[in-house]
Amino acid sequence: MWRNWLHGQLDEIEKQGLYRRRKVVEGPQGPEVNAEGRRLVNFCSNDYLGLANHPVVAYAFRQAIGRYGAGAGAAHLVCGHTRAHHALEEELAEFTGRERALLFSTGYMANLGVISALTGRGDEVFEDRLNHASLLDAALLAGARLKRYPHCDSAALKRELDVSGGKRRLIASDGVFSMDGDLAPLPALAASAMQRGALLMIDDAHGLGVIGEGGRGSSALFGLAQDDVPVLVGTLGKAFGTFGAFVAGSADLIEFLIQRARTYVYTTALPPAVAEATRASLRLVREEPWRRDRVSFLVQRFRTGAARIGLQLLESDTPIQPVVVGDNRSAVRASEVLLAAGFLVAAIRPPTVPVGTARLRFTFTARHTEAQVDGLLEALDGLPPEISGRDRLENRSAS
């Protein structure tokens, strides 16, 4: 029975053009990777600053394995919380301008843990429609009432807050939207939260390290501090180039999460060597602002070139630059044609993005060359219009 059911499900996924196939990458992340038996220019990694294979980060990792071994051995509350984790938490708190920070094993787990610890039955969680899956799943797991507002529509959120009757209210939003690359209207969200006694949580997975003064993320870009954004989530597997995540906020918030966030309490701590490697990458994030300037220069070069060839991009100044194709199969076809031309670009389809907004999601890193960006533009110029998104007049993703 299960066998038939699984076959049926897989057939259905294939029929909808939603089948996902992994590519095996040989060797480290970088602007070029070896995959599918060839060398490909990589335009789909979240390693925005080019730190995932930085020699200083890799060296810190190896050294720390010498000191701490391979694994943490237990959860933080048992005996897995090492000096390496503790030091990284202190440095992340300082970096984000928060009283304290707390490490989680992944961003997905951080979001599940925070929302399910802070809210429950009778509470309301307000979320942007295009929030990352982990924020949406978290509200469902918590058993709170999930209220989704149209993308970046702070006026709609305000109206919803006015008529809400929840015991406690939490507003959760991506800082930089992972599949669109645009920014949440943080000042308006912070003002609404403050006026209506709601708690604001921002997941800045794609903003921290990349935007804002000193790479301090989307809230820093808008000049907001701990009181405006009391719950800040960051991930370490993207701009920081390693793995893991953290929550930053007041001392009380962090103490509460240590007691109550189930994805913190009931899981093994990150390998301490990952924490040490991240301390090294955090130093590079602070000390090498040219990485942010470089990636932003490349993004502008791409956007200018795209306008020249009539390619419609979404409104985004971040390293996430999507081209909405619309149809699932067309997006896959475009990605295959680019692959044949030597470019690795992911076709992003529902349910990751709303139905009818399948897209190519290009991401840029500080280590790309201008020639690689120009080469990508040339390949895009050669795509037939029906799979390039160039025939679409309205290119904004549906909310």
Which positions are annotated as active-site residues? 178, 206, 238
Q: Does 337 bind ligand PMP (CB under 6 A)?
A: no
Backbone angles phi, psi at 192, to 5 degrees: -60, -45
Local structure of 129: helix, strand or coil: coil
Q: Tell me how far apart the alpha carbons of residues 287 and 215 are, in angstroms, rounded to a whole number.
A: 10
The Cα 205–Cα 165 span in angstroms is 30
240: nearest Cα among 12, 8, 22, 52: 52
Using CB atoms, what's the residue nearest to ligand PMP?
107
- Which residues does residue 128 pair with via DSSP β-bridges, in sequence order? 149
Q: Is 321 in the site for ligand PMP (CB under 6 A)?
A: no
Least distance in angstroms from the C-beta of 347 to ligand PMP: 16
Angle in degrees, 0-180, between the axes of helices 133-142 and 107-118, rounded to the nearest 10: 30
d(CA 237, CA 96): 17
- Closer to ligand PMP by Cβ: residue 205 or 232: 205
Interacting residues with ligand PMP between 166 and 195 (CB under 6 A): 174, 178
- Binding of residue 45 to ligand PMP (CB under 6 A): no
Nearest approach in angstroms of CB 26 to ligand PMP is 22
Closest to ligand PMP by CB, 170 vs 337, is 170
Give the total of residues touching ligand PMP (CB under 6 A). Answer: 14
Give yes or no for residue 318 binding ligand PMP (CB under 6 A): no
Cα(74)–Cα(154) distance, integer angstroms: 42
Binding pattern for the stretch 87-106 against ligand PMP, x by CB under 6 A and - elsewhere: -------------------x
Q: Residues annotated in the binding site, as ranges?
A: 20, 107-108, 132, 178, 206, 235, 352
- Convert residues 247-286 into a mask of x (bound to ligand PMP by CB under 6 A) and - (unbound): ----------------------------------------
Residues 180-211, buried b or exposed e (16+ Cβ, 10 A)?
bbbbbbbebbbebbeebebbbbbbbbbbbbbb
- Our finding on whether 123 is near ligand PMP (CB under 6 A) is no
- What angle is formed at CA 391 by the lines to CA 322 and CA 363, rounded to 5 degrees? 15
Q: Which stretch binds ligand PMP (CB under 6 A): 203-211, 333-341, 365-373, 389-397?
A: 203-211
DSSP E strands in 318-371: the ranges are: 320-326, 343-344, 346-348, 358-363
| Binding positions for substrate | 20, 132, 352
Half-sphere exposure in the Cβ direction for 31 (13 Å, CA): 16
Residue 132 or 294 having the CB closest to ligand PMP: 132
Is 108 a binding residue for ligand PMP by CB under 6 A? The answer is: yes
In the shown chain, the binding pattern of residues 219 to 238 toward ligand PMP, with x for contact by CB under 6 A and - for none, equals ----------------x-x-
**What does the binding site for ligand PMP look like in residue numbers (CB under 6 A)?**
106-108, 111, 132, 134, 174, 178, 203, 205-206, 235, 237, 245
